[in-house]
Amino acid sequence: MAGDKKDKDDRQKAIPTSRMGRLARVARMAGGVAGGMLAEGGRQLRAGKRLRARDMLLTPANARRVADQLATMRGAAMKVGQILSMDTGDFLPRELADILARLRSDARYMPAQQLRKAMSDAYGPDWEQLFYGFETRPLAAASIGQVHRTVAPDGREIVLKVQYPGVAASIDSDVDNIAALLRVSGLLPTGLDIKPLLEDAKRQLKDEADYHKEAEFLQAFGDLLRQDQRFLVPEVLPDLTRGTVLAMTYVSGEPIESIVTLPQAERDRVMSALVELMFMELFELRMVQTDPNFANYQYRGDSGQIVLLDFGATRRFRASFVNGYRKLLAAAMTENGDRLVAAAERIGYAMGDEDSEYRALVLELFLLALEPLRHEGVYDFARSDMARRMSVLAEEVADYRDFWRAPPTDAMYFHRKLGGMFLLASRVKARVDVNQLVSRWLR
């Protein structure tokens, strides 16, 4: 098998596939964290310091234990960490948010023996005869599966996205076990009800684990953008796609962040195209690729095209939410507080009592988060300190945790995408007239 090397790699870890094996990982993680707390407590006592549970729990060593075990389990366990760090980070202890954020860039992958079994389960024992030059070392690895380059029977260069074994069957138990561990450990605020978020995460993860469904999303986006020369979407190979292996054409490109070295005009063009596509997904398709991971976008220097990858996290939105969110944005654009509160409550936000400090803070948070949309003319993301101001304001809102509840799931997933786009625009120092791009859908 081409690319099958014997060299050891710290990122190459076998995935526990049985329910008991995965539960044992959670137990081991809990035991390690508890042991770490005792050791830290002893150090603090010897140093004459007052014992605080939070300081004993949130140590660098415990951070590594949690992140390493979740990364080794992959699947729903790792995804729960990603979802919590992305979507409730403003209401979690900063240390826990940092622990969970590590998972977004983790790239561990399964060893060759486990990979061969996954391929045999999908294509049969003679699977190697289907492909030429299958590369064992993956091009990329994420929470649900890893991507391998090879050549199809018709000679085309393709990639195979191979799902980790046991991931689909373990979604419910993984989510429940990790949530229970976080709750019992005291890492989650006592008043934070994440049950609706976790139930929705289970449904979303089961969709992501169905590669036939992802193939449909990939095909839909390919059809939508076929005539748009700004974008390039891989082509699905239905005959080679299985429930646990997604086959598609190989499309080369550079990391999207590499455009930071290009002229300002090109950076602005690329980010304007991505922001426009985001609004098109919401308001026209009502179907949004909600994963803001930068690795899902690449840039082709020869053509200036943007390559779109990984549609597993694509989410369909209800018409009622899209219409309600349209009203929310329109109210924010005119800074009409009463209309903004009404629209936010209509789609499921808890806005607090009228004239309360909490409501005033949440309104301020909304307006700040949507600042690039409200700004008339080009918004310079490189010069913006919006992220810092958001962090300061979120700490103030966190003081009102008794009033706060998990945001509506549709809004949470779209804001995840919105925040990711703004972060990317900041990273590549782009200037985008977001107001103009969104206004056509708000008239």
Q: By the 8 A CB rule, do 308 and 253 touch? A: no
H runs (alpha helix) in 187-336: 195-208, 211-224, 264-280, 319-333
Active-site annotation holder among 174, 268, 291, 410: 291
Identity of residue 399: D
Q: By the 8 A CB rule, do 218 and 313 touch? A: no
Could you give the C-alpha distances from 317 to 159, 286, 290, 325, in angstroms and in order? 29, 5, 11, 11
Burial label for 394, CB within 10 Å (0-12, 13-18, 19+), is middle
Residue written as token pair 């373990």: 170
Q: State how far the Cα of 201 lies from the Cα of 205, in Å rounded to an integer.
A: 6
Is residue 291 among the annotated active site residues? yes
Supply the DSSP string of 239-276, one letter for each residue: GG--SSEEEEE----EEGGGGGGS-HHHHHHHHHHHHH
Q: State how far the Cα of 264 lies from the Cα of 260, in Å rounded to an integer.
A: 8
CA-closest candidate to residue 128, choices 153, 145, 158:
153
Q: Work out the number of other CB atoms within 10 angstroms of the CB of residue 117.
A: 13
Sign of CA dihedral 279, 282, 287, 289: positive
Residue written as token pair 């081991």: 28
Q: Two tokens at 372?
A: 């690039």
Identity of residue 432: V
Is residue 116 within a helix (H) or strand (E), and if so which, with residue range? Answer: helix 112-123
Residue positions annotated with a catalytic role: 291
